[in-house]
Amino acid sequence: MTHDLEALAQQLEKHPDYRVLRRLVPRQIIHPELAGQTLCKGVVLDTETTGFDVEKDRVIELGMLLFEFDPESGQIHQVLEVFDELEDPEFEIPQASIAVHHITDEMVRGKRIDDAHVARLLRDVQVVIAHNAAFDRPFVEARWPVFESLNWGCSIKDIDWREEGFGSAKLEYLLSTQGFFLRSPPR
């Protein structure tokens, strides 16, 4: 069945009126390591919160992807670890926030993000990247001060997506231009 679907997708791709999107399948090894290559560590992170106010709102989900990269070329070598945990903010999550991220009070009840695991993942990291660091950074620095001493990059502000030929910096759009989609796992 999968073979039949792939054959159909390839047929559609040949026609100028169709584009086919494929599910993005995570890979551990992106580029094989070259002999003598010095690699550095980076983290891509994303948060979900109860709202927009760092003073009163809280992180309820922290997702991080630890990877190795070549500091000279910027080329990613491999994914070392994927981290995704939920945390109870100890107050009701506003309905407006639930409508955005679909994380409910029941899902976070009694949960706490493992601080020691977060610190371990950040050990020897040269850069933290977020797709809107202006939002994520203050929240994680307030919750985990270890983030304050790290170098940060923003994949929205630090890349001129229009100059690179893209009409938008939205993640879904960028992914679709490369022929992929990402379906979130069921919560």
DSSP string, 97-150: HHHHH---HHHHTT----HHHHHHHHTTEEEEEETTHHHHHHHHHHH-GGGGGS
Amino acid (1-letter code) at residue 96: A
What average pLDDT does the segment 18-28 reach?
Answer: 87
Average pLDDT over residues 7-32: 88
pLDDT at position 32 is 81
CA 46/CA 36 separation, integer angstroms: 32
CB 84 within 8 A of CB 63: yes
What is residue 35's predicted lDDT score, i.e. its pLDDT?
Answer: 67
Topology classification of domain 31-156: Nucleotidyltransferase; domain 5 (3.30.420)
Which residues are CB-contacts of 51 (< 8 A; sequence separation ≥ 6)?
57, 94, 96, 97
- What pLDDT is attached to residue 65? 97
Mean pLDDT of 95-104: 95
Strand boundaries in 53-173, DSSP class E: 59-69, 76-86, 125-130, 152-154
Residue 71 confidence (pLDDT) = 92
User: Is 45 within 8 Å of 86 (Cβ atoms)?
Assistant: no
Listed range (7-11, 19-23, 29-33, 47-51) with the worst mean pLDDT: 29-33
Could you tell me the residue ranges of all domains in the chain? Answer: 1-27+169-187, 31-156
Q: What is the mean pLDDT of residues 97-101?
A: 95
Segment 149-173 mean pLDDT: 95
Q: At 171, list the tokens.
A: 């993640």
> What's the confidence (pLDDT) of residue 24?
86
Q: Are 84 and 185 in contact (CB under 8 A)?
A: no
pLDDT digits (tens, 9 = 90+) for 55-98: 999 999 999 999 999 998 888 999 999 999 999 999 999 999 99
pLDDT tens readout for residues 109-136: 999 999 999 999 999 999 999 999 999 9
Percent of the residues in the chain that have a pLDDT greater than 70, as a whole number: 97
